Each structure stands twice: as structure tokens, then as C-alpha cells.
Amino acid sequence: MLSSQTLRLAGSRKFVRFASTKTLKDVIKEAIPKKQEQLKALKAKHANTSIGDIKVENVIGGMRGLRAMLWDSSVLDPQEGIRFHGLSIPDCKKALPAAAGGKEMIPESMLWLLMSGKVPSEAETRALSKDLAERGKLPDYIAKLVDSFPSHLHPMTQLGMAVAAMNHESVFQKAYEKGMKKTEYWEYALEDSLNLIAVLPSLAARIYRNAYYPGRALPELDQSLDLVGNYSNMLGYGNNESLTEYLRLYIALHGDHEGGNASAHTAHLVGSTLSDPYLSYSAALFALAGPLHGLANQEVLRWQMAMQKEIGSEATHDQIKDYLWRTLKSGQVVPGYGHGVLRNPDPRFIALQEFCDTKPELMESPIVRLVKKTYEVAPGVLLEHGKTKNPYPNVDATSGCVLHHYGLQEFKYYTVIFGVSRALGCITQLVWARALGLPLERPKSVSLDVLEKLANAA
């Protein structure tokens, strides 16, 4: 779905943007009545229509394949991968505005698309960047809290704890106490959500500084920079334009992956109790921090570095195959491969690999080359191993190697960057769930005995 301000020229891949200066809130407000009507009509006409049945394997298999969640901002096709309001990653790369002077789409333009279903104009994107920069100062008590954490606490634990503590700022929670009306929920949820995303760069950069560069000064937020421009600057990489552009692409790309992934689903579940966006998103971060989900990007780097140490950067395909088999035979998973839904290489993996192909220094980088070579043999080994339903790489297989090449080598920090990104999709859903009046999430569970009885009787 494209905005009235953005047209795709018939038969071409070109997008033409017209100036528009609506705020994100204006655009969401305009979109809400239509969606509410659509939901109401669907409920009236089809509340009892079946769209599939439940198999025993769904119940005992982590609800794989069960279409049981409403999530509008993106849909994951097992073969094609993710589409954001219908736009594929190549579409987004063409349509979504970049930073001033940059080429890659930025999280602000992705957030706008996710929230509104529309491609923002250049002016709208700049205005959103400015709004976020103005909201982006970390409250002093949160800075103090983060500074008090022992530096050996995992960076994801620090991020989740600090985001939870920020619920002290929640206007949603304060308004609820004062008896806000249901029709107002989304506005307060949006206000909290924008405040939350705005402080993530300052918060995440502080965690990085404290853990790895204690005592180093943290630059102030630069009001003229976009979200990632500021984040990169505060991480200490502001003068590395290539890494900053990579971070823009990375954070825009990881923003949303439909609703069933563990982090997004967690934010949605917690938000459905009317917990505020800070608490809901902190819960999502702890789901993201598991090695089968977002933490896999840390694990990939650890694993690839161990491989590099053992067989060298110029390892042959046979040596890599042998290393893969040893990983599998020791009972471990190959990190960065497989997926709960995808059955092809992840288009986010492809997009990040393509970024590497545009930079000579990355094409020559030993770690980037090793990741690429691993991709050339791992699917064959995993197919022969015969367990995983998807032998192809997911985004985590590659996201860390570029960071590592450019000197951001503290791989326990990598999932924090993912965490900054995933807020985009989670807060979008929190706002829309409140706008649509979605209820408390509460599926029915069954005991093993009852499941057996139901299955035998079926």
C-alpha cells in the first residue's frame, strides 16, 4: 500500500515522492477509522468462520503454522520473506527515504511505513528525525541506573532493565490511572512509543560505553542528525560513514518480522494487559535475548571466530564442511541457519550481503569472506544432516561480520543493536492494538491427557 504522496511509475522500479509535511500522528489518526470499520465488519460477518483447523502438532510444536494473531504491519512468506505493508526489501530500499547525504533507508522511514502503511515524503522523514532527536535525552535517573550496573551484566540484560525502569515516564500509565477513555489509548501509547524509540540510541550507546570504554565521554545528541546518525556517533563510530549507513540499513531491516516471532509476540502479549509500551517492550527484549532468536547474531560471530581460529580465514570448502559436521555432531545448532517460518535464504541476509558487495574493504575482509564461504557450503551440510526444515541462512548469519570488520567487535553487544531495531515493529503493534481495541490475549491451554483424549476422539 503506497501513500498518495508516493507513486510507483507504471512498469518501472522508480518511486516519485511529493512533499508532504503531515506528522506521523496525523497520518495514523487518518488511517484509524477505516481500519476500525474493516475490523468491525469482519467481526460482524465472519466471527464464526473457520480459517483452518488446529492439529496436535500445532499444540505441541510451539504453535508453528497456526494463523492465530492479527498483525498488520508486515507478513512473512516462507519462500519470499518479509513484506512491510506489501513492500519487499528491494521495494523499501528504493522507496524509503535515506538520511541526508546517505543511500540506505533509515529506521524513521521504516517506522513511518509500519505505523501508517504509507511511504513518507522526504520532509516527513526529516521532521520525524527531528522530533525523535528532540525527545532523545535519557532521563538522569536512568543514566544513573545504567551507570550503577556491574559492567559484566550482559548488555541485553542492562537494556531490558533500563527500558522497564523507564515506565516511570509512561504517559499511558499515568493517563490510565486518571481514567483515560478507551478511544484515547492509542494516542498515549503513541506518545510513549515515540519517547521510547527516541531514547534508545542514548541508552544503548551508554550501555556500550560503560561495558567496553568506561570513562570515555559520550557526545550530546546532535539535533541535526537522524536516529542512527546519533547512535553511531555516541557509539564512537560517527566518522565511519560506511558503518553508519550499514547500521541504518540493519536497524531499518530488523524492525518487524510479522507478529509470531518471539520478541514481537511477547510485546503484543504483555501490551494486551494494558501494560505500558516501556514494560511491554522490555519483555520483548528478554525474548530477543535468547540464542534461538536475536542472540543468535552474537553466537554466529563467536562460532565463526572459533572456526577462523581453528581452520584459518582462507579455509577451503571442505575444511568448513568438516567444521560444520563437528558442530552438528557435538549436538549444537549451527547459529544463523534455519527458521521457524522461512524456507529460503532470508532476504534480509541477502540485503546485508549485497551491502558488503558494494564496499571493496568488505569484499576483502577475512571475516566477511568466511561468512560468505560458510553460506556456500552450510545449506548442503544441513540438508544432508536432514533435521532442519530450512537449511538456509537467516539474517543473524551475516549481521555481525560487518560490525566486526569495522571494529565494533564486542559481539555480546550485537543483540542490543537488534533490540534498538525491533522496537519499530513492536511499538507499531502496541499503538494499533490499542487503536483497534484488541482484547487481552489469552489462548486456551490443554493438558497432555486432554490433548490425547481430544486427538483419539477426533
Ligand X SMILES: CC(=O)SCCNC(=O)CCNC(=O)[C@H](O)C(C)(C)COP(=O)(O)OP(=O)(O)OC[C@H]1O[C@@H](n2cnc3c(N)ncnc32)[C@H](O)[C@@H]1OP(=O)(O)O
Q: Mind telling me the catalytic residues?
A: 293, 339, 396
CA distances to 100, 146, 264 from 346, rounded to whole Å, are 29, 35, 18
Please, what is the minimum distance in Å from the beta carbon of residue 79 to ligand X?
15
Q: Are the beta carbons of 19 and 97 closer than 8 angstroms? A: no
* Residue nearer to ligand X on the CB measure, 201 or 425: 425
* 73 scored as a contact of ligand OAA (CB under 6 A): no
The 336-355 contact track toward ligand OAA, x by CB under 6 A, reads ----xx--------------
Pick from 271, 338, 419, 425 the residue near ligand X by CB under 6 A. 338
The answer to the question of residue 266 lying near ligand OAA (CB under 6 A) is: no
- The distance of closest approach from Cβ of residue 76 to ligand OAA in the complex, given in angstroms and rounded to an integer, is 6
- Residue number with CB closer to ligand X (256 or 396): 396
74 near ligand OAA, judged by CB under 6 A: no
Joined together, the cell numbers standing for residue 348 give: 534480509
Binder to ligand X among 121, 390, 415, 421 (CB under 6 A)?
390
Using CB under 6 A, pick the residue from 271, 294, 347, 419 that binds ligand X.
294
Binding of residue 268 to ligand OAA (CB under 6 A):
no
Cα-based distances in Å from 134 to 158, 194, 222: 24, 11, 9
CB contact at 8 A, 113 and 256: no
- Told to check if 257 binds ligand OAA by CB under 6 A, we report yes
Q: Indicate which single residue of 202, 353, 374, 394 sits in contact with ligand OAA (rule: CB under 6 A).
A: 394
- The secondary structure of the chain in percent helix, strand, coil, rounded to multiples of 5, reads 60, 5, 35
What phi and psi values does residue 393 have, to the nearest 5 degrees?
Answer: -75, 145
CA distances 167 to 58, 119, 200, 283, Å, are 35, 30, 14, 12
Q: Which does 409 bind (CB under 5 to 8 A by kind): ligand X, ligand OAA, none?
A: none
Choose among ligand OAA, ligand X, none what residue 333 binds, the Cβ cut-off being 5 to 8 Å by kind.
ligand X
Residue 389 interacts with, from ligand OAA, ligand X, none (CB under 5-8 Å by kind): ligand X
∠ CA 336-342-346, nearest 5°, is: 55
Q: Does residue 121 interact with ligand OAA by CB under 6 A?
A: no
- HSE-CB at 397 with a 13 A cutoff on CA atoms is 29
Contact status: 398 vs ligand X (CB under 6 A): no
Compute the least distance from the CB of residue 253 to ligand OAA, in Å. 9
CA neighbor of 71 nearest in space, from 360, 221, 236, 267: 267
Considering CB distances under 5 to 8 angstroms, the limit depending on partner class, which of ligand OAA, ligand X, none binds residue 252? none
Residue 261 binds ligand OAA, judged by CB under 6 A: yes
Q: Which residues pair with 105 in a beta bridge?
A: 98
Amino acid at 389: K
Spatial neighbors of 233 by CB under 8 A, at least 6 apart, are: 219, 222, 225
Query: What spatial distance separates the first Cα and last Cα of the chain, rounded to whole Å?
Result: 42
Binding site for ligand OAA (CB under 6 A): 257, 261, 340-341, 394
Binding site for ligand X (CB under 6 A): 292-294, 296, 328, 333-340, 387-390, 394-396
